[in-house]
Amino acid sequence: METHEKRLDQSSTFRVKRDTPPLIYSPYGEGLSLQKSFDAHNEGAKRNKAAGKIALHAFVQFPTEVPLTPENEQRMLNEAVAFINASHGGRAVFRARLDRDEAGRHGVDVFYAPKYEKVTRRGKVVEDWISLSKFGKEMALARFGERQKKAKNPETGKFEPVVDADGQPVLERCDSPYFQGQALQDLWTAHLREKMGLEWVERGKKKVGRDPDRLEPEEYKLAEDQKKLKLALERADMEREFLAALRDGEFILRPPKDPQILSVRWRKMPAVTPERRERIGLCAKSVCSAVRLNLNETLAGKLAQEEKLAELMQREERLKAPESLIEAAKAEAKAEVMADLKDDFDTLKSAWATNEATYSVDTEGYWKWWYEAERGTPRHARVSACFESVGGLVGWMARRFEEVMNEVVRYLTPAAQTEFKNEWIDALDRGDAPEWWAPGDGPSGVTGGVGQNSPSLGM
């Protein structure tokens, strides 16, 4: 194993793919070889002299889905050491290695010889005793207990249950290396799920028989490549089947929320059978990410074109509407405008007649709000809006009124003019007549109301 670690044997030279040093766990000091690490671990410890083996080797496999980052590589090394120690008394591992120059980089080689404090029959405590089978047997026995023993029947050649002379089952402990391996596999799956948070990990399938199943790395890699190739071909066939069903109209695609999801709507006539639906659903899962994205982008483009076409068709229909509808719409709009203008005219006419607002004839277009205390009120805002809307029309009426009144007064006798002016001044004082800004605005020479030199409401 040390020769293999140093890449001095023939098999290791075939596996090297890159010049990257391994990660090493060496609790007895850095730079120690595998042999020196074992010597340091074994120093001062006792073991059964009849034992033929001196250490154990475990290849701890991690899921290949774990991303290969420096942090994850170090964690895999640490977790492998922690697992073997935890399942073998806490003082078992004397060296571990994660190779990073091979094609496979998710396995950790762990070398261990479990230590524990042994108590002899006389109660003497031997502090460091090494046993390669103690913890494995205890682990298997705790997990599987006992079972009825089986032996090969020489007549039938089959293994049959063994019973004693009284016909009672003969039990045997389930702590052989076979059961130890089963227990270790169970515990490792639990460790991945519970300690490392890889809840999606599934335990490997148990062996049917007890024949050796170990493959050399090269053979294993070839077998795995063949599996991947077979799976890729199956996925390609299922993908083609899905696309053919889409082409033949067995279903159509609907716009999904996620561009990586294929949303299917089934054809109603003739209806697709449940079995066929299930098969197409299975094939949909085999469609690769790029094809999913392309299908949904094509669908989105097609829907956008259909929406644009529908919009153009609606626009064409609107253009083809009867002329009477267009004229009716124009008349309706004109009626609304005229109604608004009439309302503005009536409002401003009322404001003018009641002296809320006046129009300066001499400046030809200046409207004035008279009640200063009410500025900013809704009424002020409404009348001001009317200034902008129909103020010019009402102002024209004010000018015509002044011109007519001046013409009338001009043809009166002096006595009649004096009487008219006096009556007008009285009306101004009572608030029953329009006022002017200054003498000369309105009937010639008529002033009054708030005073001869003071501004008045005007017309």
Could you tell me the residue ranges of all domains in the chain?
2-132, 223-314, 337-430
Alpha helices in 145-216 (DSSP H): 177-194
Q: Tell me: the pLDDT tens digits for 224-270?
A: 778 888 888 888 899 999 999 988 888 888 888 888 888 888 888 78
The two structure tokens encoding residue 270:
């003739």
Whole-number pLDDT of residue 212:
59
Q: The domain 2-132: what is its CATH number? A: 3.30.930.30
Residue 95 burial by Cβ neighbours in a 10 Å radius (0-12, 13-18, 19+): buried
CB-facing half-sphere around the CA of 155: CA atoms within 13 A:
1
Q: How many CB atoms lie within 10 A of CB 428?
A: 22
CA–CA gap between residue 325 and residue 403 (Å, rounded): 46
Q: How many CB atoms lie within 10 A of CB 61?
A: 15
383 and 353 in contact (C-beta within 8 Å)? no
Residue 456 burial by Cβ neighbours in a 10 Å radius (0-12, 13-18, 19+): buried
Phi then psi dihedrals of residue 384, to 5 deg: -65, -40
Q: Evaluate if residue 210 carries a pLDDT over 70.
A: no
CA–CA gap between residue 387 and residue 444 (Å, rounded): 27
The two structure tokens encoding residue 58:
């475990």
Question: Cα torsion at 276, 281, 282, 286 (round to 10°)?
Answer: 130
Mean pLDDT (whole number) for 56-63: 93
Q: Evaluate if residue 79 carries a pLDDT over 90.
A: yes
**Radius of gyration of the chain, Cα coordinates, nearest whole angstrom:** 52
Element housing 115 (H / E): strand 115-119
Q: Evaluate if residue 391 carries a pLDDT over 90.
A: no
Query: C-alpha distances in angstroms, 128 versus 44, 45, 71?
Result: 7, 5, 34
CA–CA gap between residue 202 and residue 190 (Å, rounded): 10
User: In angstroms, how far is CA 266 from the centroid of its own chain?
Assistant: 27
Q: Is 440 left (phi over 0), alpha (psi -120 to 50) or beta?
A: left
Query: In this structure, are strands 46-47 and 125-130 parallel, antiparallel, or unpaired?
Result: parallel
Mean pLDDT (whole number) for 421-438: 66
Mean pLDDT (whole number) for 101-109: 88
Q: Is 70 left (phi over 0), alpha (psi -120 to 50) or beta?
A: alpha
DSSP 206-262: PPSS-S-----HHHHHHHHHHHHHHHHHHHHHHHHHHHHHHHTTSEEEE--SSTT--
Q: Evaluate if residue 442 carries a pLDDT over 50.
A: no
Q: Evaluate if residue 435 carries a pLDDT over 60.
A: no
Say if residue 270 is preceded by a cis peptide, omega within 30 of 0: yes
Q: Evaluate if residue 449 carries a pLDDT over 50.
A: no
Q: Which residues pair with 109 in a beta bridge?
A: 59, 97
Whose tokens are 């659903």? That residue is 281
Mean pLDDT (whole number) for 358-383: 76
Whole-number pLDDT of residue 431:
63
Whole-number pLDDT of residue 96:
96
Give the residue with greater pLDDT, 316 vs 25: 25
